[in-house]
A = this chain, B = another copy of it.
Amino acid sequence: MPQATLEFDGVRYLDGRASDPRHLGWMRGAPPPPERLVRFEDDRFFTFPQIRWSLSHLRELLPTVNVWRGEGAPSTFGESASIGQEAIDTLAFTDLHGRERRFDESLHDTYTDGILVLYRGRRIYERYFGALQPQVPHACFSITKSYAATLCAALVHDGTLDAQQCIPHWLPEMKNTAYADATLQQVMDMQVGVAYSELYADPAAQIWDYARAGGLRPRPPGWPGPGSLHAFLQTLQAEGAHGEAVAYKTPNTEVMAWVMQRVTGIPLPQMLAERLWSPLGCEQDAYLSVDTAGTAMAGAGLSATLRDLARLGEMMRREGEANGQQVLPAAVIAEIRRGSDPDKFAKAGYTLLPGYSYRSMWWVTHNELDAIEARGIHGQRLYIAPAADMVVARFASHPIAASAANDTITLPAMLALGRMLRDR
């Protein structure tokens, strides 16, 4: 029987079931056979289908810093007797190519590693595939940005940071860069004119230099590039105006996180632990990748468990409240959920995301569910739909980095699920 495959951009890949890392046997054996090794050095860990294993095992490939959950018992999700798994499994929806799909089958076609659905805070659906388990942190990639920027928005709210100040106010090192006259607000909303390409399909794009500087990709011998995140940021030059259009560029998050740490003196892992992991009652420690100067990668470095990601979503849905306490000010969350200017977002050219805006590193749908999303490459997603009292956390290891490869299925699936919950 020929192996089942799916096609993206004209290339065929093993499908979700055929690429299950348990079947392929990555890193199994003592030692694993050479053809089943997943190594950082040769970059194979970032190749499909190896990523189906490595996105649940990043700390085994590179240095990381712990995000401590604190002491005490984790918070619990209530269960809901009124919505069964089968109702969700069999949910029908039409993808953006017009194809009829079932919810459960769509999980395989989006290379899902795990999915958890909360309805009014109760867990109504939770499934794991491949290398992921409930206690295992999975790469969040750019969902890391939403975590960091939510904390930054709280620092603006409490007056620690003035979002209208330009970056060199805190970071004189950045005076001769694109950020010389960029405000913190522009940075948080990704409206900075900076020469930098985030085209994952292009091996020459600067995103790879960023990843090499930050320790998330191997460096070729004698690599002449910047040796740390902070050194990399200081190379970034202006291109175009600030404040006119959304331009999604990961270094903005690193600049923002640098400001946060410079002003508070608190490293990001500690801030995440104290302000989110502990008060949210997370059940496992998380971790962040670090560069050679020990700086945590704020734009992409977080690995967290699916349940702990869902806890963030539920706090966002409840406007900052969790476990009977106001973890973050309601106004901070409300402002994020209100979003920003869709016209500026439209200029970014995301044809699959019509009507969206981007605010404090969250994707604001302005759809009928009032949904906001945190999105990471290879299919990471936190979808919060207040109008449906729904939160969906989803990890994946899709062969294609860009979210567009799974949006055609994921977006209508989320909408269908939210409508079902809203209208029941």
Chain A residues in the interface with B (C-beta under 8 A): 27, 30-32, 37-41, 59-66, 68, 71, 73, 135, 221, 228, 230, 258, 261-262, 267, 283, 285, 287, 290, 292-295
Contacts and interface: CB of A to CB of B under 8 A. Distances in A.
B60 A61 contact: no
Contact of A59 (B59, B135, B267, B292): B59
Nearest to A262: B30
A40 B41 CA distance: 15
Contacts of A295: 30-31
Specify the main secondary structure of chain A where it touches its partner.
loop
A297 to B, nearest CB: 12
Contact of A64 (B32, B60, B71, B267): B60
The quantity of this chain's copies bound in the complex is 2
B258 A39 contact: no
Contact of A63 (B27, B63, B68): B63
Contacts of A31: 228, 230, 293-295
Nearest to A53: B294
Nearest to A62: B63
A66 B61 CA distance: 12
A368 B278 CA distance: 46
Given A31-B230, A31-B295, A59-B287, 13 more contacts: A30-B230, A30-B258, A30-B267, A31-B293, A32-B293, A32-B294, A40-B292, A59-B63, A59-B64, A59-B65, A60-B290, A63-B63, A71-B135
Contacts of A293: 27, 31-32, 37, 39
Nearest to A66: B59
12 contacts: A30-B258, A31-B293, A39-B292, A59-B59, A59-B287, A60-B63, A60-B65, A60-B290, A60-B294, A71-B135, A73-B73, A221-B221
A221 B220 CA distance: 11
Contacts of A27: 293-294
- Minimum-distance CB pairs A-B, first 10: A30-B261, A31-B293, A31-B230, A27-B294, A60-B65, A30-B262, A60-B63, A61-B63, A60-B290, A39-B292
Nearest to A59: B64
Contact of A41 (B62, B262, B292): B292
Contacts of A135: 68, 71
A283 to B, nearest CB: 8
Contacts of A290: 60
A60 B291 CA distance: 9
Nearest to A295: B31
A283 B230 CA distance: 35
Nearest to A170: B30
Nearest to A27: B294
A267 B71 CA distance: 28
A262 B30 CA distance: 6
A229 B40 CA distance: 16
A259 to B, nearest CB: 9
A55 B295 CA distance: 18
Contacts of A228: 31
Nearest to A222: B221
- Of the candidates A30, A31, A40, the one having the most CB atoms from chain B within 10 angstroms of its own CB is A30
A228 B33 CA distance: 12
Contacts of A62: 63
Contacts of A267: 30
Contacts of A262: 30
A64 B37 CA distance: 16
